[in-house]
C-alpha cells in the first residue's frame, strides 16, 4: 500500500512532466534540439499556413508575337518582288493576300512558320489587301492587316524574240551556226542598260556571246565565233515589272529556245566564180556561179546603182519558191537593165534582195562571167539542191567582189568582236 505522502509526490511528478511537454516552447530557456525537432515534425507555419513558408513564383508571361507586313498605304510596290510577312516571338497561323476582285494570291509558309512569301506576280496599278495572324508561346493571338498598291507604269513595251531578219523563233527550231538573235521592243527604250539587264542568253555547251544595240528598239546577240553544232540556245526577256527608263515598263516576259544544226558554211569566191559548200567542215558541193556584174547603172532617180554582190559572211534568211523578182524594188523600173520575173527557187542571203537562186538563162556564164544584178546565179539543179540543204542561220561567205557587206544587211559577222562588244549597253 502506497502511503499518502508518496502518492502525492508521484502525482506531482506526473503533473510536472506534462507541463514541460506543453509549455517548454514558452520557457525562458530554449532547448535548441527540441526546436529543431519541432520544426521538422510540424506541418504548420508560424501563421498556421501549410508549410514553413511559400516559395516565390518564377513564371513570366510570354511576350506577344510581333507581325511585320507591308506598310499600309504603300504605293509603287513592285509587282514582281515577293510580298513578305514575318513574325518574331511566335508562329504564323494564317496569311491571306487578295486581289481587288477578292481572288487569293498564291504563297507559302516557311518550314518554321516564321515567314510567308507570295509566289505569283501581281498586276500593275492594283490595290491588294493582306491579313495575317500569329500566336505566341502561350497561344495568345495577334493579328494585323494592311493594303498597298502596285506601280502604275507610264507606258508599256513588249519584247519580241526574233531572228536577226525578223522571223519568229518557235521553241525547238533548228538554225544554222551563224544565227543571230534580235530582241525587238515595240517602243523606244530610254534605258538600254536596264533593258539589257533583263535579257539573258544561255548556250549549252557554254560559248562567249554579247549584245549589240543597233537602235533604241533593237538589240542583237551573237557569239564570238560561229555557234557549235548541237548547241542549245535559250533566250529569256524578263522585263515584266522592270522600269526600262522614264516609267516605261515591260508588258510581259518572253522566252524561247532553239538548237543549232550542222555547220553549213559556203564560200562564194568571185575570183573563181565558184561556190564551195561545206557540211561540218567537209566539202560536199561545188557550184559554178555568176555574180553581180562589175558595173554601176543609172537608176530611176538618176543615182547610180552598184550591181556588185556584197562581200562578207551573209546569214541565210530563208529558202523561197516562186520568188517575184522585180528590179523596181531597188530603183530600176525601166530600160534595158530592168527586169520582172518569177524565179522558181532560191535561198535569200541578205535584206536587199541577194539570193543564191535558179537562173537557167545564165548557165553559160556560171563559173566564168558575172552577169547578174547582185544575186548568185546557179543552175536549176544546183538551186534546188541548195534550197533543200540550207536552213536559216547558215553562212554564205562571199569574197573578192570589192563591195563590202554592211552590218544592217545581214552582215553581223563582218564586225570584229571588239566592235561588236562595243555596242553593248554600259
Q: SS3 of 37, please?
A: helix
Report the largest interatomic distance among the alpha carbons of the chain, rounded to a whole angstrom: 178
Distance, CA of 184 to CA of 227 (rounded, Å):
22
Distance, CA of 196 to CA of 211 (rounded, Å):
8
What contacts 80, CB < 8 A, 6 or more positions away? 121, 122, 240, 241, 242
Beta bridge partners of 52: none
Grid cell for residue 390: 540550207
Pair 327, 422: CB distance under 8 Å = no
Distance, CA of 62 to CA of 385 (rounded, Å):
84
**Which residues are annotated as catalytic?**
357, 375
Secondary structure in 3-state letters for 195-222: HHHCEEEEEECCCCEEEEECCCCEEEEE
Beta bridge partners of 182: 162, 220
Distance, CA of 155 to CA of 247 (rounded, Å):
7
Pair 369, 270: CB distance under 8 Å = no
Per-position DSSP letters for 387-419, written without gaps between them:
HHH--TT-EEEEESSS-BPPGGGT-GGGS-HHH
Q: Smallest Cα–Cα separation from 177: which of 417, 412, 335, 356?
A: 412
Grid cell for residue 68: 511585320
Give the side-chain half-sphere CA count within 13 A for 179: 32
Q: Smallest Cα–Cα separation from 416: which of 312, 315, 316, 317?
A: 312
Pair 260, 229: CB distance under 8 Å = yes
133, containing H or E segment: strand 127-135
Distance, CA of 165 to CA of 408 (rounded, Å):
10
Amino acid at each position: 500500500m502506497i502511503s499518502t505522502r508518496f502518492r502525492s509526490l508521484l502525482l506531482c511528478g506526473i503533473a510536472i512532466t506534462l507541463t514541460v511537454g506543453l509549455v517548454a516552447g514558452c520557457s525562458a530557456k530554449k532547448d535548441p534540439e527540441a526546436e529543431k525537432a519541432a520544426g521538422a515534425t510540424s506541418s504548420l507555419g508560424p501563421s498556421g499556413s501549410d508549410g514553413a513558408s511559400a516559395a516565390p513564383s518564377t513564371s513570366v508571361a510570354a511576350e506577344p508575337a510581333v507581325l511585320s507586313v507591308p506598310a499600309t498605304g504603300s504605293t509603287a510596290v513592285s509587282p514582281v518582288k515577293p510580298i513578305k510577312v514575318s513574325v518574331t516571338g511566335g508562329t504564323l497561323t494564317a496569311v491571306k493576300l487578295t486581289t481587288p476582285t477578292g481572288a487569293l494570291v498564291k504563297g507559302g509558309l516557311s518550314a518554321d512558320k516564321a515567314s510567308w512569301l507570295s509566289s505569283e506576280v501581281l498586276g500593275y496599278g492594283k490595290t491588294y489587301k493582306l491579313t495575317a495572324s500569329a500566336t505566341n508561346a502561350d497561344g495568345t493571338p495577334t493579328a494585323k492587316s494592311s493594303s498597298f498598291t502596285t506601280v502604275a507604269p507610264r507606258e508599256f513595251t513588249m519584247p519580241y524574240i526574233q531572228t536577226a531578219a525578223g522571223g519568229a523563233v518557235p521553241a525547238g527550231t533548228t538554225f544554222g551556226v551563224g544565227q543571230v538573235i534580235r530582241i525587238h521592243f515595240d517602243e523606244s527604250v530610254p534605258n538600254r542598260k536596264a533593258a539589257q539587264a533583263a535579257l539573258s542568253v544561255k548556250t549549252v555547251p557554254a560559248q562567249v556571246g554579247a549584245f549589240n544595240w543597233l537602235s533604241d528598239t533593237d538589240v542583237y546577240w551573237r557569239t564570238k565565233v560561229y555557234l557549235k553544232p548541237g548547241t542549245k540556245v535559250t533566250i529569256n526577256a524578263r522585263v515584266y515589272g522592270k522600269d526600262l527608263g522614264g516609267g516605261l515598263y515591260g508588258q510581259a516576259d518572253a522566252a524561247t529556245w532553239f538548237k543549232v544544226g550542222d555547220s553549213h558554211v559556203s564560200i562564194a569566191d568571185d575570183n573563181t566564180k565558184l561556190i564551195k559548200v561545206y557540211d561540218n567542215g567537209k566539202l560536199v558541193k561545188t557550184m559554178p556561179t555568176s555574180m553581180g556584174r562589175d558595173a554601176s547603172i543609172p537608176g530611176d532617180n538618176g543615182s547610180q546603182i552598184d550591181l556588185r554582190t556584197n562581200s562578207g559572211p551573209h546569214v541565210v534568211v530563208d529558202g523561197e519558191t516562186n520568188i517575184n523578182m522585180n528590179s523596181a524594188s531597188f530603183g530600176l523600173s525601166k530600160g534595158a537593165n530592168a527586169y520582172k520575173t518569177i524565179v522558181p527557187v532560191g535561198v535569200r542571203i541578205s535584206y536587199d534582195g541577194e539570193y543564191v537562186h535558179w537562173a537557167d538563162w545564165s548557165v553559160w556564164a556560171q563559173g566564168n562571167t558575172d552577169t547578174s544584178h547582185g544575186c548568185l546565179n546557179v543552175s536549176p539543179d544546183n538551186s534546188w539542191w541548195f534550197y533543200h540543204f540550207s536552213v536559216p542561220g547558215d553562212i554564205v561567205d562571199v569574197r573578192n567582189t570589192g563591195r563590202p557587206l554592211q552590218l544592217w544587211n545581214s552582215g553581223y559577222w563582218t564586225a570584229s568582236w571588239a566592235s561588236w562588244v562595243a555596242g553593248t549597253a554600259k
